[in-house]
Structure 1
Amino acid sequence: MFPTPIQRTSRATQALYRIGLPLALLVWLLPIIAVALTSIRGQGDIASGNYWGWPSQWQIAQNYGDVFRHTPILRYIGNSFLVTVPTVIGAVGLACLAGFALGVYRFKGNLALFFLFVGGNFVPFQILMVPVRELSVQLGLYDTISGLVLFHIAFQSGFCTFFMRNFIRDLPYELIEAARIEGASEWQIFRRVVLPLVRPALAALSVLVFTFIWNDYFWATVLIQGEHAMPVTGGLKSLNGLWVAQWHLVSAGSIVAALPPVAIFFLMQKQFIAGLTLGATKG
């Protein structure tokens, strides 16, 4: 049922594994390596077609300095935080409440409602572009940070509810019954019994949603037009000049834009792994 550990396979399979794994890792890292090299090379290298070779001009300080001095990337990064942080709080908070209701209470239509949350994740978001844009215009939310936050919360709530409901449902139901016998209200059970037990899952879900929203490009360009509310993913395209492509600045800006989610992941790595492995073993 489970794959055989590599230590128990044949020598030929182990040799193939040792050769294939570094090659696959290198292929996976090639785009990141290309962006990193482009971010530290001069524009002359790019103009001459030196995309993959060793940089003939090292402009690390100049390229990254120009990104902060001559482009509005700090504003874009600030906008990304203004979009991402409220979305994480809103989506995870709603998911905890919905997951508690679907995972603890037994009522008619529970499973159908849960499938409704799950089914929303399979709807291609591209087909929703036109109606969502029209709705945002009618509600006065187009080209605003608050509008982007509300739509992100709506789209992420389905996945987050699916995630939290499964974790809450795996909790020992006897703990909830014991709390009710002691006279605890449903809100007290949720806040003092359930939430402390699913804290690792909350951390893992928060990291996932933070990464999803921070890296979003589609809705950032569909619902936002002006620089005043543009997240960093959509704002990177403006780092190019009007007539001359400044790929060294775009690459440097991309590296800077990738740092916050990477930092969040490493800061919460233990909680993230604990959340993903919660309930993986019994006993």
Structure 2
Amino acid sequence: MRVAIVTDSTAYLPGEAIARFGIDVVPLSVVVGDEVLSEGGDVSPADVAAALQRRVRVTTSRPNPEAFAAAYREAAARGAEAVVSLHLSAEFSGTYEAAVLAAQEAPLPVRVVDTRMVAMALGYCVLTAAETAQAGGTLDEVAAAAEKRAAATTGFFYVDTLEYLRRGGRIGSARALLGSALAVKPLLHLEDGRIQPLEKVRTSSRAIARLEEIAIQQAGTAEVDVTVHHLVAAERAEAIAERLRERIPGLRQLYVGEVGAVIGAHVGPGLLAVVVSPW
């Protein structure tokens, strides 16, 4: 492809899609205790969940700019004429900033995009960019297609507790829910790249039911792709997915996948999330 696609490891794309489009994935790091581990290689979501449950300190860190610089050089060496580099919200991480720094020294034009998304909300932007590039799109066309998909995509999620988001400093205005955290099961959503409170629900079963209802309302009758994410809650995620298959009339593809170690470190075990992305 004339335009190469680079992203980071928080897109949580299926491996088949990464291979099919030749997408370069630059990993973030997870620090478990004193050990620095690479997402997608050295540490699994289950490892992070277990560490959190043992109250071991878990933090995350962005890639070094050199990791992006290497990816851009490799794209040039393969014959790419330009790169679109798509990343998780700059509100969550310095990853976007690291990519921008690397792009300044790249041997080819690099457009770095802050999608304001994460997980498969980011992943759908990456897939749209890759499909546009494969069809012969220019640098501007590829970046614009990804940005358009990002603007239309929404993500909603349920966490068993806000404690892990609080520890990681990623809670944003959802901090207002902390005082009643023991009495409610919070539903949150991504809005302008930030985690925002959506609803307070009294029980986990009701929260999960509302998560489904909100996803169905968001999808409407449009053609949509949907992802159900979880962290060590596979059975619950599959049950949600099965009901969404029956209740979303315009469903194109539905993917069920566990979030990786980086996002897992911030949301904790029991996460359930639904991403709705119009086609």
TM-score of the pair, normalised by structure 1: 0.30
Larger fraction in helix:
1
Larger fraction in strand:
2
TM-score of the pair, normalised by structure 2: 0.30
Bigger relative contact order (CA 8 A; separation at least 6)? 1
Structure 1 or 2, whichever has the larger Rg, is: 1
